[in-house]
Structure 1
Amino acid sequence: MTKTEMRWGAPPSAEDLAELAETAFAAIPAPLREAVRGTVILVEELPDDETLEAMGLEHPWELTGLYRGTPLTEKSVLDAPMEPDTILLYREPILVEWVESGEDLFRLVRNVLIHEIAHHFGYSEEGIARLEGEG
Structure 2
Amino acid sequence: MLQLGHEEFERLVIDELDLLPDDMVDGLDNVIFVVEDRPESGELDTLGLYDGVALTERGQYGFGEMPDRIVVFREPLLELCADLEDLRDQVHITLVHEIAHFYGIDDDRLHDLGWG
* Residue pair 1:17, 1:91 contacting (<8 A) in 2 also: yes
TM-score (norm 1): 0.74
Q: Shift in Å at residue 102 of structure 1?
A: 8.5
Cα offset for 1:12? 0.7
Match of 2:100 among 94, 103, 118: 118
Q: Residue in 1 aligned with 2:23?
A: 31
Give the structure with higher Rg (CA).
Answer: 1
Kindly indicate whether residue 25 of structure 2 is the aligned counterpart of residue 42 of structure 1. Answer: no
Looking at structure 2, the residues matched to 93 and 121 of structure 1 have their Cα atoms a distance apart, in angstroms, of: 24
Q: Secondary structure at the match of 2:66?
A: coil
RMSD: 2.1
TM-score (norm 2): 0.85
CA shift at 1:38, angstroms?
3.2
CA drift of 1:34 comes to 0.9
> Unaligned regions of 5+ residues in structure 2, if any?
none
Contact kept in structure 2, 1:17 and 1:109, CA below 8 Å: no
Number of the residue aligned with 1:13: 5
2:78 corresponds to which residue?
95
Extract unaligned runs of 5+ from structure 1: 1-9, 50-58
Indicate the structure with greater helix content: 1
By how many angstroms is 1:103 displaced? 5.9
Could you give the per-residue CA deviations for residues 12-51 of structure 1, whole angstroms, max 9, x where no partner exists?
Answer: 12222221121111111212211114311111111003xx
Aligned-residue sequence identity (percent) comes to: 28
| Deviations 1:87-134 (CA, angstroms, capped at 9, x unpaired) | 1111110011113x996211111111111111111111111111117x
Residues matched between the structures, number:
113
2:47 is equivalent to residue 64 of structure 1: yes
